[in-house]
Amino acid sequence: MSSASAKRVFAPGERIFTEGDVPDVAYLIETGRIEVWATQGSKRLTLSYLGAGEILGEMAVIDRAPRSASADAITEVSVTEIRADQLRERLDEADPVLRGLLIGLLSRYRRGLRAARVGVLDEPESDDLAVVDQKRRVADKIRLERELLEALDGDQLRVVFQPIFDLHESRIAGFEALVRWDHPVRGPVSPNEFIALAEETSLIVPVGHYALMRSCALLAELDQRLNSDFRPWVAVNISARQSLVPDFADLLASTARDSGLDPVRLKAEITESLALDYERVQALIARCRWHGIGVSLDDFGTGHSGLGHLHRLEFDTIKLDQSFVRPLPGDLKAAALVRGIVTMLHGMGAEMVAEGVETIEQARALKSQGVRYLQGWLIGKPQDPAVLDPLHVNPLLLELQSAQPGHGRRGARA
């Protein structure tokens, strides 16, 4: 007998669902015992017995196929219904490769079940377009993951530098190091594609280590080429998996020294999602600061509790996401918000790097709000460090009269 809520009770011998039914729910068995069975010709074939704590009927809900078996209550059974959308939402949030493998496994299970009934392995049914597309994307992702592993060993990755401009000094202060992948067949692979893939797997650790080593080496080569007193820094992005590497801050410092660089010329950029792990990030920041390495919070304002990060973690610089920059100079609310954040940062001894600056009007607006550092295409696109001339500055930027540098309690630097 059923109730109006998500709880249901079935009497002994009562049918819970029938083979061929269109599924809308799965069941968590609270009490009682259930027989799952299918037909084999005229015979009844018992597939399994299930009891309290087990889940029933989830396969058909996951792959949206008709029920492949029937289920009867042996004793009085109480269950909690699991709606189809509850399961599918979780499945949609799962790793797409695992999701594709699970759906493929269910498909093969159903074929095997049909073969056991009739004694003949039938031809696979044609998938609908959505399933075909999902299988293709899963296969593409598996291939790309393997190719990224090969790229690490095959000299397909490279590091480019995007300059960051100091409004106080009217010169380039440093660079952000960015990884690029030149695939031998596909050509350039979007960083949004392969970095996201690397972050889903352990590959982000060797990719990140490659970026760190090359960034330090390239900065040292730039020093030799310029042969001047100009000493820019380089910022490298740090993933959550990298931060788990034992003594990671020491690794940053030793890599810089091995390239002939003072660690003070290295900056670690971490994301807001990583910053949620306060205890670990506090320890990382403290050790980085001991080595003289600055730590920056990347993409501030894109999610999570940004103000909480500023309150609890002592960053040297905050990188303002370009979504705050894009509306300037016309959006007065955006300008007021930027000004408020900058004032707060100065009170904490930190500075701001505004990302995505594309026009001189945006640069002028940011300068008027007290922003010190600018990054974006107005300053310069990501470039090969071998041909980069950091002493050359967009003449439009030189027209901006810099304000006097602020003096924060921690002597912030970008």
pLDDT tens, position by position, 16-75 = 999 989 888 888 898 999 999 988 777 888 888 999 888 888 877 777 778 888 999 999
Say yes or no: do domains 7-91 and 156-398 share a fold: no
Neighbours of 217 (CB within 10 A): 17
Burial class (CB in 10 A: 0-12, 13-18, 19+), 327: middle
| Phi, psi (rounded to 5 degrees) for 371 | -70, 140
- Residue-wise pLDDT for 298-309, tens only, equals 888 766 545 666
Lowest mean pLDDT among 120-129, 313-322, 333-342: 120-129
- 209 φ, ψ to 5°? -65, -40
Residue boundaries of the structural domains of the chain: 7-91, 94-155, 156-398
The pLDDT of residue 131 is above 60: no
In this structure, CATH architecture of domain 156-398: Alpha-Beta Barrel (3.20)
Nearest to 177 by CA among 136, 235, 124: 235
What residues contact 35, with CB distance under 8 A and at least 6 apart?
A: 46, 48, 49, 71, 72, 74
118-127, 149-158, 217-226, 381-390: range with lowest mean pLDDT: 118-127
Joined tokens for residue 379: 């300053």
Give the pLDDT of residue 408. 43
d(CA 21, CA 60): 9
Q: Which pTM does this prediction carry?
A: 0.72
**CB-neighbour burial class of residue 318 (10 A; exposed 0-12, middle 13-18, buried 19+):** buried
Q: What type of residue sits at position 208?
A: G
In this predicted model, what pLDDT tens digit does every residue of 331-365 receive, in sequence order? 999 999 999 999 999 998 999 999 999 999 999 99
Give 246's Cβ-side CA count (13 Å radius).
0
Chain-centroid distance, C-alpha 62: 25
**For the domain with range 7-91, which CATH number is right: 3.30.230.10, 3.40.50.970, 1.20.1050.140, 2.60.120.10?**
2.60.120.10
**C-alpha torsion 371→372→374→379, nearest 10:** 130
